[in-house]
Amino acid sequence: MKRTVLIGLFVLLSEWHLFAIPTDSLLHDSITKQLTIEEVQVTARRKTDNIMPVQRLSGERLQQLSVQSVADALRYFSGVQVKDYGGVGGIKTVDIRSMGSHHLGVFYDGIEIGNAQNGTVDLGKFSMDNLEEISLYNGQKSELLQSAKDYGSAGTLYLRTRRPVFKDGKRYNLQAGMKAGTFGLANPSILYEQQLTDNLHLSANAEYTYATGRYHFRRHQVYPNGTTAWDTVGIRQNGDVQSFRAEAGLFGYLPRGKWHVKGYYYQSEKGIPRAIIRNVWTSSQRQWDRNSFVQGSFQDEWDLGARRIGDGHRKLQWLVSGKYSNDYMRYLNPDTTLMYIDNRFTQHEVYLTTSLQYDIFSWWGVSLSSDYQFNSLYASLVHFPYPRRHTGLVAAATAWHYKWLRAQASVLSSSVKDEIKRSTQQTQHAAEQLQRFTPAVFVSYQPWLREELYIRAFYKKVFRMPTFNDLYYTDVGNISLRPEDATQYDAGAEYTKAFTFGTGALRGLQLHLKADGYFNQVNNKIVAIPKGNSQYRWQMMNLGYVEIIGVDANAGLVFAFDYDVQWDVQMTYTYQRAKDLTDPTDPLTYGGQIAYIPLHSGSVTSCLSWKEWSLNYSFIYVGERYHNSANIPMNYEPSWYTHDLALSKLFHFRTWSLSTSVEVNNLLNQQYDIILNYPMPGLNGKLVLKAMF
């Protein structure tokens, strides 16, 4: 009877998006399994269930990096380009495999972070202190029990926050931290966890960030003959930021399942540093943000018994999630020499998802997922269309594995309907309606069962609708924009090998190699280009057709020596040829590398640890680029690189411990821009203290 009721509820939600009247926000969840990060040892890796390429930073390794935000950490992944508009408060977005930031789904504790207004997620808003793992998937996760939204992006980024873990009979954890550094940085934080019962845990944390954002930079221009046109040094202005973030969550555990409810609040006020143009760098633009959401999920499992001896037990798993979010943003430009602007935007989002997974045999499973999402946008603009969007998603997937072969296939149905009106007195009317089906197929082959060598390939089609700003925003929106369609092809291999040695100073070695080649085709690619010297105003356009050929390579070595010495080295390399093939009659842009995509990029991280000491070094390199598809000298952007160094020590006392870290970033004080005319900080440092009780 219980199973019948659950299936009935699932079918009802599957059809809901066809006729439901929305209320106000969103939610989604694909729950990840609870993990406890143990002390790092050189051991063989657990046999992977991942068919798709995945990159991870977790546990101590994640905390050891000299980074302030999630966007900074993602620079150490291959195939990723981070667009940073300068300074502590500058916008930070991520582009994966030259597909654009809109094709990257960002999930926070299993539920996607949405932004119907402009489609991008500013990863500078998310703190590293409360994160336990960052995972980046090309394609999609290998799990069947996940929302339909998980199937809808070219790549997915999962941010998993810390879940309470209690050791030694303790019923609470308390952690207080403080970061202080250059540019006036002050960043206190606090975390409290309480074990209410054996199966119910509470977690609450908060942090405050303040920074002046003032740093020196150098600008110079050199003529083609090598002579200097001009050379000046300035101080970055209007880059200050004040922000406050608070989260609280309840985590419950069932005999075969789990649930959680989380509330999130973030607010900030920051200056928007302008582009350095014509030797002018002062700015008075300000931005206020207020983001809040409540989300939750419930997951359970039923054992249906075995069909026959040897078939394994059939299982039925159910996942349901929901979310409501409210986002407010105010932008002020009091400079009347440009144009006085004081605009306010409010977004509401409601999201519901449910998913059923049925394991027919131990080696074969199927799933069906259904999502409904409603978005609305209000603005203090004249003749604003007040858009509302209804999105319905249904995904069917199956996964099969037998000894050396694993495969997964899925198809996603997407229904999108927009409604607009020209004034608050007018009624809503349909503006755009779209229906798409996007399939995906993934295969992984293990030639030798005793060797951790996997050869894989996948094919996936995705699309993305233009955002509200793309379509409707005054002086920026382009209602004639067409949806982007993308096709991905990928083939790669992954190999892991662990060695142990009985004698000598070197006791163990672990080797991990991974490489993927890919070919992406993007039709009607939508590109956002800053308009003038503001980060707020953009020009939207379809490029037409883009082809992307690339290679992502990763190599990792972990050495274990005598006397508790361990050395961990990780290296990444990316090659990307992203061609604009829109107009064969345009000799300047046809075949040119699209804006801000380097041919070559890579990183190296190294961690040398001994007992409670660790020395961390990181190097990031981004090759030559152009800020326009016309790859001519006047659009050329030089390569840049940074060296970062951090020394940390953990002190143990009778009832508490203290973690200390001293970080030096951009060690050689290189002057560089990630985005043209938005200079990045030079040499800077930070002191980090964290007390754990």
Q: What is the mean pLDDT of residues 579-592?
A: 89
Q: What is the mean pLDDT of residues 34-53?
A: 45
Q: Is 60 helix (H, G, I), strand (E, B) or coil?
A: helix
Convert the pLDDT of each residue in 194-205 to its tens digit: 999 999 999 999
pLDDT of residue 17: 40
Between CA 541 and CA 476 the distance in angstroms is 10
**Please, which pLDDT band fits residue 545 given cuts at 50, 70 and 90?**
confident
pTM of the model: 0.84
Q: What is the DSSP letter of 383?
A: T
Q: Which residue has the higher pLDDT, 241 or 526?
A: 241
Residue 28 confidence (pLDDT) above 70: no
Q: What is the mean pLDDT of residues 535-551?
A: 74
Cα Dmax for the chain: 83
Of all helices (H) and strands (E), which one includes residue 219? Answer: strand 216-222
For the chain, how many residues are written?
A: 693
**Please, which pLDDT band fits residue 238 given cuts at 50, 70 and 90?**
confident
CA-based nearest residue to 408, from 398, 418, 417: 398
- Across 22-36, 60-74, 295-309, which has the greatest mean pLDDT? 295-309
Residue 280 confidence (pLDDT) above 90: no
pLDDT of residue 33: 34
Residue 20 confidence (pLDDT) above 60: no
- Residue located via tokens 């020394």: 647
**Please, which pLDDT band fits residue 47 given cuts at 50, 70 and 90?**
very low
Residue 26 confidence (pLDDT) above 90: no
CA 266 to chain centre: 18
610 touches 649 (CB < 8 A): no
Q: What is the mean pLDDT of residues 616-641?
A: 90
pLDDT of residue 397: 96
CA-based nearest residue to 551, from 574, 577, 519: 574
Residue 105 confidence (pLDDT) above 80: yes
Convert the pLDDT of each residue in 152-191 to its tens digit: 988 888 999 888 988 878 899 999 999 999 889 999 999 9
Question: Mean pLDDT for the chain?
Answer: 83
Of all helices (H) and strands (E), which one includes residue 82? Answer: strand 80-84
622 touches 601 (CB < 8 A): yes
Between CA 682 and CA 679 the distance in angstroms is 9
C-alpha distance from residue 626 to each of 464, 673, 677 (Å): 25, 12, 13
Residue 460 confidence (pLDDT) above 80: yes
Residue 274 confidence (pLDDT) above 60: yes
633 touches 605 (CB < 8 A): no
pLDDT of residue 434: 85
